[in-house]
Amino acid sequence: MACTCVVGLQWGDEAKGKIVDLLTPRHDVVVRYNGGANAGHTVVTNGLTYKLSLLPTGVLRPELQSVIANGVVVYPPRFLEEVDNLRAAGIPVGGNLKVSDHAHVIFPYHLEEERLNEAGPGQAIGTTGRGIGPCYQDKVGRVCGLRVGELLHPQHLRERLRLIVARKNRILSALSAEAQTFDADRVCDQYLEYAERMRPFITDTTYLLHQSLAAGKGILFEAAQGSLLDVDHGTYPYVTSSNSSPAGVWSGSGVPARRLDRVVGVIKAYTTRVGRGPFPTELNDGIGERIRRTGREYGTVTGRPRRCGWFDAVAVRYTAALAGADELALMLLDVLSEVDEISICTAYETDGQRVDHFPSDAFLLEHCRPVYETLPGWRSEISKARHPADLPKAARSYVERLSQLLELPISIISVGPDREQTILC
Ligand code: GDP
Ligand code: IMO
Ligand code: MG
């Protein structure tokens, strides 16, 4: 069976959740390898909507093994809340979900540190406020990092937290006179309670995945965020703190990248971005507003309005190459049905020069103006289309032009949120 990575090629919210859900029946294991509860993945089926933040979308199919691998940062109350919510919705969660003992743990002081960072005089990124950045910082810094496996050793946890919380309180107080500080023993007691509830889920997921590979099982890797938010390859510093491109699969799961057989790049028919940072094709006009309204472009995690703009083929050519995408899933095509003319950014212009490749520097990107190619819209409802031939000619031309510009086949077209509203090409 094949190993597949489903990855977003823009700034997140490309509708990865829907594609993961569509492809899971062809796999045995579904793995989240990066990020944490900053993700918001939506699956709509039979009129029911499920939103997953920290758990892999695979949990909606209890017959599959779902894994939160070592590259993820875990906020225990959120983990338990999502498990409870699924159970309340009648979806069994038990041995089918495993969490890596190597995943790092998010604590309340991470949330406070992020709040102060974002409110402070430095560079606000417009984060989701889920403690992601500070937790990854502690992971790499090693002095204050705590892993999920350590939650199961009460004495050790208490000793470590006493040292860490004292240090954190000093840092937080230095950042702001109004900073919230924490009591190590209270935090420890609370986390020991979480740990007892999490105990059955915690395991060495790297071993589990190696065993799955040896047994010839198919693994699906579900990326969180989009490749333009990748900490190494995205629009730094306006990125998240993990490798959201498939670059993160190896380090974030222990499965060698060379075991990936297929990379499905997920793209929206236009572009959105939440939070700050350069966005050359952003539309601050009525069309942007119409796309936001029709596409219901409001953040799954924070409810913030998403910034909307035209499709950026320069950016996606870059991320498709970065991801090693074999094929593309084109999502939310129906949202463009109300627009008279549709533009695609095919190059940038800066200081009178034409730029055909994605600038490696977010500050250069800030100065890039899009060069557009404009195609006619189709101005008709397409959400009932189930075959390429059901699409109006102008919609087919748009899809073909994107495929041509990106030099990749578009194997899936999505015309609505429901599982059924999908065209396999
Ligand atoms: P993810 O983070 O990449 O999984 O994407 P999100 O779930 O944050 O955002 C995608 C949104 O678009 C969700 O509300 C989906 O239900 C919805 N959606 C998915 N595919 C389509 C589509 O083809 N058309 C429309 N109109 N909505 C879609
Ligand atoms: P999914 O998986 C869209 C953005 C935030 C912010 C930046 C850093 O649903 O596609 P963070 O909280 O990660 O430190 O915030 O990254 N961001 C996302 N944008 N979709 C996401 O996830 C995102 N996760 C983080 O808005 O700009
Ligand atoms: Mg999302």
Query: Is there a catalytic annotation at residue 41?
Result: yes
Centroid of ligand 3 to alpha carbon of 384 (angstroms): 24
Give residue 322's pLDDT.
97
Q: How many Å apart are CA 278 and CA 407, to the nearest integer?
A: 25
pLDDT given for residue 123 in this prediction: 78
**Spatial CA neighbour of 330 closest among 260, 421, 223, 244:** 421
Q: Whose CA is nearest to atom 6 of ligand 1?
A: 13
Distance from the CA of 225 to the center of ligand 2, in angstroms? 6
Instruction: Give the chain's mean pLDDT.
Output: 96
Neighbours of 213 (CB within 10 A): 17
Question: What is the whole-number distance in angstroms between the Cα of residue 59 and the centre of ligand 2?
Answer: 21
Residues 278, 284, 287, 288: is their CA dihedral positive or negative?
positive
d(CA 294, CA 424): 23
Tell me the CB-side half-sphere exposure of residue 341, using CA atoms within 13 A. Answer: 5
Residue 361 confidence (pLDDT): 86
- Nearest atom of ligand 1 to the alpha carbon of 333: 23
Q: Is the pLDDT of residue 209 over 90?
A: yes
pLDDT at 122 over 90: no
DSSP per residue, 130-198? SSHHHHHHHHHH-SS--BGGGGG-HHHHHHHHHHHHHHHHHHHHHH-TT-----HHHHHHHHHHHHHHH
Active site residue 390: no
Distances (CA, A) of 47 to 162, 298, 417, 418: 48, 20, 10, 8
64 lines ligand 2 (CB under 6 A): no
- pLDDT (tens digit, 9 = 90+) per residue, 4-24? 999 999 999 999 999 999 999
Query: 301 alpha carbon to ligand 3 midpoint, in Å?
Result: 7
- For 219-235, what is each residue's pLDDT tens digit? 999 999 999 999 999 99
pLDDT tens per residue, range 297-308 = 998 778 889 999
Looking at residues 152-156, what average pLDDT do you find?
A: 98
H or E element in which residue 311 lies = strand 311-312
* For ligand 2, atom 27: residue with the closest CA: 275
Hey, whose CA ends up nearest to atom 13 of ligand 1? 42
pLDDT at residue 358 in the model: 97
Distance 326 CA to ligand 1 centre (A): 21
**SS3 of residue 222 by DSSP:** strand
Q: Ligand 1 pocket test: which of 13, 46, 339, 383 has the largest number of ligand atoms within 8 Å of its C-beta?
A: 13
The reply to whether ligand 2 has any atom less than 6 angstroms from the CB of 227 is no
Task: Summarize pLDDT for 180-196 with one digit per residue, the tens.
Answer: 999 999 999 999 999 99
Least confident of 120-124, 341-345, 364-368, 390-394: 120-124
- Minimum CA distance residue for ligand 1 atom 28: 417
Read off the tokens for 135: 């937790």
Ligand 2 atom nearest residue 244's Cα: 2
**Model-wide pTM > 0.95:** yes
Widest Cα–Cα separation across the chain: 67
Mutation test of ligand 2: which of 21, 229, 268 has the most ligand atoms closer than 8 Å to its C-beta? Answer: 229
Residue 119: in which H helix or E strand, if any?
Answer: helix 108-119
For residue 407, count other CB atoms closer than 10 A to its CB.
9
pLDDT in tens, 260-280: 999 999 999 999 999 999 999
* pLDDT surpassing 80 at residue 388: yes
Q: Whose CA is nearest to atom 16 of ligand 2?
A: 240
Residues 6+ apart with CB under 8 A from 317: 357, 358, 405, 406, 407
pLDDT-based confidence at 99, cuts 50/70/90? very high
Which of 235, 12, 260, 48 lies closest to 21, judged by CA? 48
- Lining ligand 1 with CB less than 6 A are 8, 12-18, 40-42, 44, 295, 300, 331-332, 334-335, 414-417
For 333, the 3-state DSSP assignment is helix
Residue 46 pLDDT > 90, yes or no?
no
What b/e sequence results for 171-210 when a residue is b if at least 16 CB atoms lie within 10 Å of its CB, and e otherwise?
Answer: bbeebeeebeebebeebbeebeebbeebeebbbebbebbe
% of the chain at pLDDT higher than 70: 100
CA of 403 to the centre of ligand 2 (A): 26
| Confidence category of residue 145, pLDDT binned at 50, 70, 90 | very high
Determine the Cα–Cα distance for residues 107 and 135; give it in Å rounded to an integer. Answer: 8
Question: How far is CA 298 from its chain centroid?
Answer: 15
| The two three-digit tokens of residue 355, written as one number | 């730029």
**Residue position matching structure tokens 């190590």:** 184
Closest CA to 377 of 359, 392, 362, 356: 392
pLDDT band at 320 (very low <50, low <70, confident <90, very high): very high
Of 21, 27, 41, 334, catalytic: 41
Residue nearest atom 20 of ligand 1, based on CA coordinates: 417
Q: Which atom of ligand 2 sits closest to the CA of residue 223?
A: 2
Which three-class secondary structure state does DSSP give residue 62? coil
CA proximity to 71, closest of 264, 235, 225: 225
Q: Which has the closest alpha carbon to 425: 329, 335, 334, 337?
A: 329
Q: Which two tokens stand for residue 168?
A: 């954190």
How many other C-beta atoms are found inside a 10 Å radius of the C-beta of residue 355?
18
Helix (H) or strand (E) holding 242: none
So what's the pLDDT on residue 47?
86
Helix runs in 295-388, H state only: 313-323, 362-366
What is the chain's Cα-based Rg?
Answer: 22
Q: What are 71-97's pLDDT values in tens digits?
A: 999 999 999 999 999 999 999 999 999
**Which of 331, 391, 422 has the most ligand 1 atoms within 8 A of CB, as the residue to mutate?**
331
How many degrees, rounded to 5, is the angle at CA 68 between CA 330 and CA 105?
120
